[in-house]
Amino acid sequence: MNRGIPQKRNSDRLYGILFLAPIFILMACITFIPILSAFRTSLHETSYAQVKEFIGLNNFREVLGSTEGLHSILNSILFVIGSLLIVMPFGVIIGTLLNYKVRGIPVYRTMIIIPWVLSQTVTALLFKWILNGNYGPISYLAMLHTGAKLDVFSNGVQSMILVVLANAWNTLPIVEILTLAALQSIPPEIYEAAMVDGVPRIKVYTAITLPMIKPTLITSLVMQSMEYFNMVTLIYILTAGGPLGSTQTLSIAAFRNGFDFWHLGLASAYSVVIFLLNIMFSLFYIRLMSKGRED
């Protein structure tokens, strides 16, 4: 009678493989194969789209050993961390406020999604118009009050701050929505028990709510970090990496070397560095999540 059990298990395993095969094939075509191709190209000399002789780690030496490459790495880290420092806390706070039942809350929840609906291109053009030094409304108001135009795009530090703020404004709703969804999945009985015990609200939030939504917050960190490291459109349209490379991140350096200068080997090396940084940040976040579960 037990002989049918192994056969059934083998049959279930086969069906599982057959059902998952299309997903794995799709992932291989759009993820794994391009990554392996980038690794291969980064180790070769290229001429336009042609991959030529093997040169080893020369492209990586140029990325990691040049001022431009190191500056791009630093800019990427500053851009990612700066964006996360705005998006994560404000996203959690606003998501928490949206969870309260007040009059008109559906309207607020709808309005809060608007920046996310806009594409990076529209967001970049919007900020570029508002802060334009010649005809932007901010520059006009600054001229009325100070007598001098305000041109943030002429200063490296101000340009980086602007890029971070534009990115945070565009991506903030993602964290808000994920936080709201996580909060609504918490059983109300937990809060009722805390109220019966007389636990203060701030204590309930820090000791109950935040630990329960921590996996969602870690997931948001991973998603946003990967998106920020790979972001090209918003930065390229807003500043194109300028002025003088002050906002040139790794993704912009990869894009420009690949599509402006046709240095595909060097562009692939930049892409591999981005991939490795994404892995490092993701492993760090996963370690945080694992530590939280052990505690």
Adjacent-strand bridge partners of 54: 44
| Domain match, 72 and 38 both | no
> What's the whole-model pTM score?
0.87
pLDDT for position 13: 81
- Domain identity same for 33 and 97: no
Nearest to 168 by CA among 83, 272, 239: 83
Buried b (16+ CB within 10 A) or exposed e, 55-66: eeebbbebbeee
Query: Are both 12 and 148 inside the same structural domain?
Result: no
Give per-10-residue mean pLDDT for the chain (295 aa): 60 81 85 88 90 92 92 95 96 91 82 88 93 86 82 90 95 93 89 83 88 90 92 94 92 93 93 92 80 59
> Is residue 17 domain-shared with residue 79, that is, in the same domain?
no
166 and 280 housed in the same domain: yes
Do 85 and 18 lie in a common domain? no
What pLDDT score does 2 carry? 52
Residue 51 lies in a domain: no
Count the domains in the chain: 2
Q: Is residue 122 part of a domain?
A: yes
Structural domain range at position 18: 1-42
Measured CA to CA, the distance from residue 271 to residue 111 in angstroms comes to 36
**Residue 48 lies inside a defined structural domain of this protein:** no
Q: CA-CA distance, 268 to 34, in Å (whole number)?
A: 10
Q: Do 134 and 180 lie in a common domain?
A: yes
Residue 93 maps to a domain? yes
- For residue 8, the model assigns a pLDDT of 62
Same domain for 146 and 34? Answer: no
Q: Is residue 63 part of a domain?
A: no
Same structural domain, 23 and 84: no
> By the 8 A CB rule, do 87 and 224 touch?
yes
Residue 179 tokens, joined = 């936080």
The answer to whether residue 60 is domain-embedded is no
Tokens of 111: 């309005």
Output the CA torsion sign for 183, 188, 193, 199.
positive
31 and 122 share one domain = no
Query: Looking at residue 142, what is its pLDDT?
Result: 84
Within-domain flag for 61: no
Residue 80's pLDDT is: 95
Residue 10: inside a domain, yes or no?
yes
CATH number at residue 113: 1.10.3720.10
Q: Are residues 288 and 234 in the same domain?
A: yes
pLDDT score, position 42 = 94
Q: Are residues 148 and 282 in the same domain?
A: yes
